[in-house]
Structure 1
């Protein structure tokens, strides 16, 4: 076993020789710089390894809870006329089962794998925004606990994991049950969108030297496409949840047909998220399969380029078939035809990936390890699920099978086969990295066969009960309908599946004491995460290696034949005593800057706690606490962004004399990429609101006439105000870049005034519109509030920016605050103008 800590003295630097540390400051070793906090300070850690493990452990705990709820459902249905659960409890149990599986297990687990593996596989020392990952985790944890706490208050949601309207409105679901779902899930979704920005920026902008897009590990392509899908697909659900909660809390009639609303608006917004989410869940799992397969076959992935093209194609196509779930809602025949065709077309890129996997298998004789067994199980189960998916894409068959147990069977074949089996394979595969020990191969095979046999027994029978007419979401059924024996077999299969999961949990607990210590690269993989011993002293790479292959540990002997701490590479020295990694060009992987990474900090926890307090106080109707919570979050985020400037600093990278700027503000850099990703999310939120308004206008246009009178004045004010904000945002960037700090501070001050005035004009123009009189008026107010929040952010950020320039806390030159402010100003100005034009069209 290689001792990776034996060369500590190699990295002890005299700060005085490099000018990177204060005079008299003692030198620090590499290990000391990257040391993880201990004791109670552990929760201040923002390391991707720590945060990734938190996601994985928390997500798996939610998986066990959801599995227990599923066993309650199957126990209730094991025999006809069962009284094990009453109807109300049954509704709560299956609702919480689906909610936890879809929102609190599947997405967070893939985020956990992404957060943990991305830096290791692309050759970085951490994610480019480690604090953002920690903030997202705490939001996810608080949101999940909020949803689960509904059981403690006897207010568990019972409207299904999709919360269909009007069932989930106050008229049919009084009390707080639906509010727990809406507020808790919205809080948890914040973690998903923040993870999307983190994943996009880290994959594109922190790759090791030489790792171009065509040399990235295949899993990175899957995660990158998934992150873009999350950025576009999750905002419709967030907007839908806010609108529904506004109707429940404030009485706004977004979904009330009597006042111009429409219950179908919720279905459209939900499935704009819901069907892409199926592929958001599947793609990272398929990427894990594409990573594990070459390792156990001993050959590179067959058709790498075809697989990448298929993944990108699936990302686009997945947004064109959300109404696949709405065939029976009365859509026009033309719409049914288009969505049916799109549902069938998505099978093509899926098939391309499956063929790449099968061709990889055909290149050699695979080693039938436990991870490989789960990969083979995935191929078998997911292909069957895909076939039933093609069946459901046919409109006539869909009409017959809709809301039957056939759909339940299809859903589980796709999601359990497409995610749970690859996830278990990935846990066995990367467990040496997570704990430093190997899980048992013998026990693991028992786990696989119990899960495989139990799953197929449980869910194959559901196809038959569905074809025999058994509807979903029924608490019991009478004898003599032909469902008795099939339900009995399904329930037995569910218990066998649960036994396999329980055996895995036992093996996991056991392996901490009895599991074999993992050797270096225990599977013989070719990707960079296995360069070091499975248990490292807290960092990823002592020197960031240059990459010339997709499988560097197979194709570059200098990496695999030498001790990891002796491998040549970038940033071996740490003269400034700061955590650093290489920033790369998004396409070529060429080094363009040195990224300074944050040390442990409490700001993510404080900010997330403030957000959670605001959401929780809203649920409890303590509105003064709501204000206090969001004020705490604002203070935490403001302090979070207060970073010392590294502008103008250059450093030797150790790559043949190459010197790079530290934290350069470059349009190819991580800062700009993250801003673009954030604006994509913001525009997706805006587009979801705009879609809602246009949909309601199309459904009941007569209600739009009631808000036509104030539109003209609002349109003129909005067009002028939006243009002014965009122009002054650009001026702030240009003035700051020229180094004229006082002039730039003056421009920021004018921008504060412009944003505030535009917000006031919008409020004055919309004031005559009664949001309670019509759904269209309420949507107009929702758009106005959304844009006003952006204007408030601009005013706040410009004010802080101006003050920092006045006191000399900002060095001359283009800075991140200026770049961020310019982007938000342009985006907000565009939103204001687009909204104004839409209202003008409606008024005409």
Structure 2
């Protein structure tokens, strides 16, 4: 049980045997960051291939493998486990709980991820196996006909990740409903906990459906069944099953970032979040409506027009609770004293980019517009503005906000953190805004090359330059992290001042009093 005292072995044994929620949270984050680097390199290679029309720095098959691997790693092995890491670390602290409800199950949830990641990436390390090359969605009939063994490993890896997420979701719900401290009620717990509660419910109800889809796909590939191809099979059935999970998965990735934004915006505006209860209920509304919009990804499949209208209407309605959250963040800042530290910069970048992603999402929810831009780079740009502009900027906002809490009081360099933000923010817009234009001009996504006379070269080159600016920003972050661990100043309390939040009140993270020559500073001085 959570009340049991944890042993604290040293060195590698600590990390291999720990059941402490804080250690497991760190394991989640660093494992996710390793997959992020692999996925990021794959993205840069894809952009290099598209820099000039007609150039071949790789084969078409390798190109397919890279964009498929990029999408899979970024969604399932970077954003989702990184956010789960923050939840593991901070939800029990915010709830004043001693640990997660089931510490050993919590450890198991993490330790299923590395083997799943290795199965998904097997083509990179095992001779004779090709990495998944049918896109991150795995649509049949191509995914049934492809003889690549790596595709079977990819499917089994995703199923294993689903098991890990299911165990984690049950654990979070048990912790939130059964482990809260005496002073923490549902209606006053931090919004990050509300977001994690909704995320866990989304996963719990959507994962079984996509697990069935992946299992049926494995059967079609290896046992001769015809769920999705052949007599009686229907490839559109796979799309329904996949997107019944896939669209809630979008909110699985963005709702925890919403919770992070609420914490950061409130802290660095020096006032309580505006409209706490409306923010909490908006989270539940988004999660509930997320199950009613899956087929807006399928307007071109020939569904009944009445179904198209229904899914279009629900896709427009879901913008309302999302808009409430954006309005309340802006209202919080409007009445506050804004402190533009790195966490707040990333939070404001999140809002700007996510609003663009949201507006273009409303455009895509309209059937006539979607029919014209479906499967073009307009959709790629929208998805990245929502997921990268939203979830990833939220991850870095959380990281810079909670860094000293997570890493024994070590502080980072403020100037380098701001350079990281501006490189990533500018690079992101340079990389992905031109893709809206490319989509409107008709450039299809997932193409290996394009004609020199198509008029797409300039926009593709800008997109590639933006990708490398993002990469430069990540490199600055890594240098800053290394500096923080080796020579960073030490803080002995919440470095941001203002109202003390629950996660900062426990003193288990506070380093010993500084000895001679050990810097101990507040955030204002760590620059």
Offset at residue 214 of structure 1 (A): 1.4
Q: Which of 391, 396, 399 is residue 427 of structure 1 equivalent to?
A: 399
Flag the 1:497–1:390 CA change in 2: closer, same or farther, 3 A.
same
Deviation string for 1:750-773 (max 9, x for gaps)? xxxxxxxxxxxxxxxxxxxxxxxx
For 1:218, the equivalent position in structure 2 comes to 191
Aligned: 1:320 with 2:292 = yes
Mapping 1:264-283, distance limit 5 Å: 264-283=236-255
Distance 2:493 2:506 in 1: 7
- TM-score, with length taken from structure 2: 0.94
Distance 2:357 2:81 in 1: 23
Distance 1:175 1:499 in 2: 35
Aligned: 1:532 with 2:503 = no
Flag the 1:508–1:39 CA change in 2: closer, same or farther, 3 A.
closer
Aligned: 1:84 with 2:69 = no
Mapping 1:678-697, distance limit 5 Å: none
Distance 1:518 1:64 in 2: 29
Mapping 1:63-212, distance limit 5 Å: 63-151=36-124, 152-153=126-127, 154-169=129-144, 172-212=145-185
For 1:610, the equivalent position in structure 2 comes to none
Aligned: 1:263 with 2:235 = yes
CA contact under 8 A between 2:492 and 2:511: conserved in structure 1? no
Aligned: 1:502 with 2:475 = yes
Q: Once superposed, what is the RMSD of the aligned Cα atoms?
A: 1.4
CA contact under 8 A between 1:156 and 1:180: conserved in structure 2? no
Mapping 1:14-93, distance limit 5 Å: 33-39=5-11, 41-42=13-14, 43-93=16-66
Offset at residue 537 of structure 1 (A): 8.7
Distance 1:121 1:403 in 2: 42
Distance 1:33 1:387 in 2: 49
Distance 1:188 1:385 in 2: 27
Offset at residue 35 of structure 1 (A): 4.2
Deviation string for 1:309-334 (max 9, x for gaps)? 11111111000010010000010000
Offset at residue 533 of structure 1 (A): 4.0
Q: Which of 468, 487, 502 is residue 460 of structure 2 equivalent to?
A: 487
For 1:804, the equivalent position in structure 2 comes to none
Deviation string for 1:213-269 (max 9, x for gaps)? 1111111111101110110111111111111111112111111242x1111111111
Mapping 1:539-578, distance limit 5 Å: none
CA contact under 8 A between 1:432 and 1:534: conserved in structure 2? no
Mapping 1:694-773, distance limit 5 Å: none
Distance 2:42 2:80 in 1: 19
For 1:245, the equivalent position in structure 2 comes to 218
| Structure ID, larger Rg | 1
Aligned: 1:331 with 2:273 = no
Distance 1:416 1:509 in 2: 24
Give the ranges of 4+ consecutive aligned residues of structure 1 lying more than 3 Å apart after TM superposition.
32-35
Deviation string for 1:185-215 (max 9, x for gaps)? 1112211111100111111111111211111
Q: Which of 272, 288, 293 is residue 265 of structure 2 equivalent to?
A: 293
Distance 1:425 1:40 in 2: 29
CA contact under 8 A between 1:437 and 1:517: conserved in structure 2? yes
For 1:557, the equivalent position in structure 2 comes to none
- TM-score, with length taken from structure 1: 0.59
Offset at residue 370 of structure 1 (A): 0.3
Offset at residue 534 of structure 1 (A): 6.6
CA contact under 8 A between 1:293 and 1:360: conserved in structure 2? yes
Offset at residue 175 of structure 1 (A): 2.8
Distance 1:50 1:68 in 2: 28
Distance 2:166 2:209 in 1: 12
Distance 1:519 1:63 in 2: 31
For 2:384, the equivalent position in structure 1 comes to 412
Q: Which of 425, 428, 442 is residue 455 of structure 1 equivalent to?
A: 428
Offset at residue 516 of structure 1 (A): 1.1
Deviation string for 1:447-476 (max 9, x for gaps)? 000000000000000000111110010011
Distance 1:475 1:379 in 2: 33
Alignment size in residue pairs = 504
Deviation string for 1:547-568 (max 9, x for gaps)? xxxxxxxxxxxxxxxxxxxxxx
Deviation string for 1:393-446 (max 9, x for gaps)? 010100000000000000000001110001111111111011121111100010
Flag the 1:534–1:380 CA change in 2: closer, same or farther, 3 A.
farther
Mapping 1:358-373, distance limit 5 Å: 358-373=330-345
SS at match of 1:328: helix
Distance 2:230 2:362 in 1: 34
For 1:401, the equivalent position in structure 2 comes to 373
CA contact under 8 A between 2:404 and 2:491: conserved in structure 1? yes
SS at match of 1:168: helix
Mapping 1:648-663, distance limit 5 Å: none
CA contact under 8 A between 1:434 and 1:534: conserved in structure 2? no
CA contact under 8 A between 2:346 and 2:396: conserved in structure 1? yes
| Unpaired runs of at least 5, structure 1 | 1-31, 539-844
